[in-house]
Chain A
């Protein structure tokens, strides 16, 4: 079964329509995962970044809470990075001049032989040579 990894830029790109491709892509992915046609994975960091994104995008805490509650029920399997991955994350982040926050999602995709889907053009441009990454946009 095909496995994809998601970062927060895709989730918020859909919700806040900052990326028209994410608006089309995320519903398809979630429906496929719901039917067990694909597997979506991410890190515990995902919900933290989505929550922070909502915190500083929406004026209404009630709306942000509703969204986060529904988000938690999506067919996205939250997994931890394999042991010793932080050392690899540091190395890759230094080599590619990226942040640890962005790099760990990519490392997760690499570890699971998956593809990281991201709307973060800057990160994609810096790390696309590692493969296992696809820019939505």
Chain B
């Protein structure tokens, strides 16, 4: 598996717990697994959350970009 090295900052209490529970040699594996789980859960959350579903529509549907004037005209069209 290809890997990338990165430098991260953690609060002291998390760092201490990481070191005491996993030791220096297993930290990368633990961080990888935890990150992957979190990313998956965020994706699932986004898929089932109505707010995130709505917010994602803008990108998913490739909606046009209009001016404020055009939007106001669209809202009011047909009234007069």
Residues of chain A having any CB pair with chain B under 8 Å: 8-9, 12-19, 26-27, 30-31, 33-34, 49, 52-58, 63, 66-67, 70-71, 73-75, 101, 119-121, 137
- B66 & A16 in contact (Cβ 8 Å cutoff): yes
Contact B64–A16 (Cβ < 8 Å) = yes
Which residues of B approach A to under 8 Å, CB–CB? Answer: 49-51, 53-55, 57-58, 61, 63-68, 70-79
- Residues of B within 8 Å of A67, CB to CB, are 54, 57, 61
Q: Is the Cβ of B68 less than 8 Å from the Cβ of A13?
A: yes
Chain A residue at minimum C-beta to C-beta distance from B60 = A66
**Set B57, B68, B79: member contacting A18, Cβ < 8 A:** B68
Q: Which residues of B contact A13 (CB under 8 A)?
A: 68, 71
The answer on a CB contact under 8 Å between B54 and A74 is yes
Check if A30 sits within 8 Å of B65, measured CB to CB. Answer: no
Shortest beta-carbon distance, B75 to chain A, in Å? 4
Residues of A within 8 A of B68 (CB): 9, 13, 18-19, 119, 121, 137
Minimum CB distance partner of A8 in chain B: B75
A30 to B50 alpha-carbon distance, docked (Å): 10
14 contacts between A and B (CB under 8 A): A8-B75, A9-B75, A12-B75, A17-B65, A18-B71, A31-B51, A52-B75, A52-B78, A55-B77, A57-B64, A63-B61, A70-B50, A101-B79, A121-B68
Which residues of B have CB within 8 Å of A58? 63-64
Interface contact B54-A12, CB-CB below 8 Å: no
Known: A18-B67, A19-B68. A34 touches B54 (CB 8 A): no
CB of A73 within 8 A of CB of B50, answer yes
- A75 to B79: give the CA distance in the assembly, Å: 28
